[in-house]
Amino acid sequence: MANFLIVEARFYDHLNDLLLAGARAAIEAAGHTHETVMVPGALEIPGAVALASESGRYDGYVALGVVIRGETYHFEIVAGESARGLMALSMDGLAIGNGILTTENEAQAIVRADPAQANKGAGAAEAAIAMLELRKRFG
């Protein structure tokens, strides 16, 4: 049994509730445990994962959040830099599932977050579990 940390950027509560439900269900269905921490936004997720990794308490990480395109360039920065930060941590050997949605509008985010539809929260958790298995295989 592995212990996962779900790090969620709780900016859109109603969307994050959907992502979180999917992620928790997938982790529990695989027989693992989880804890959840909240951060202000998607840019803070990689930093929280890095800090948590130093504790040695977690076997893998699930990043959850929603970034919806607005009228400014901020969308590209948040989407790109949060993904870059998670990728860097992954390349350092952490088992991470990236469930940060980057959408054009709220309707797209709902479809992707909803466990009854695209269920991207579960997908991120399943990715983290798969990466942990690979780390065990090659480690």
Give the catalytic positions in this structure.
Answer: 74
42 marked as binding residue: yes
d(CA 16, CA 26): 15
Beta-carbon-side half-sphere exposure of residue 103 (alpha carbons within 13 Å): 17
Residue 72 labelled as part of a binding site:
yes
- 26 labeled binding residue: no
Tell whether residue 43 is among the known ligand binding residues: yes
| Residue 112 labeled ligand binder | yes
What is the SS3 assignment for 61-83?
EEEEEEEECCCCCHHHHHHHHHH
Is 66 annotated as belonging to a binding site? yes
Q: Is 24 flagged in the annotation as binding?
A: no
CA–CA separation, 78 and 71 (whole Å): 13
- CA-CA distance, 129 to 117, in Å (whole number)? 21
- Cα 86 to Cα 5, 58, 117: the distances in Å are 14, 16, 25
Binding positions for 5-amino-6-(D-ribitylamino)uracil are 11, 42-44, 66-68, 98
Binding positions for (2S)-2-hydroxy-3-oxobutyl phosphate are 71-72, 112
Binding positions are 11, 42-44, 66-68, 71-72, 98, 112
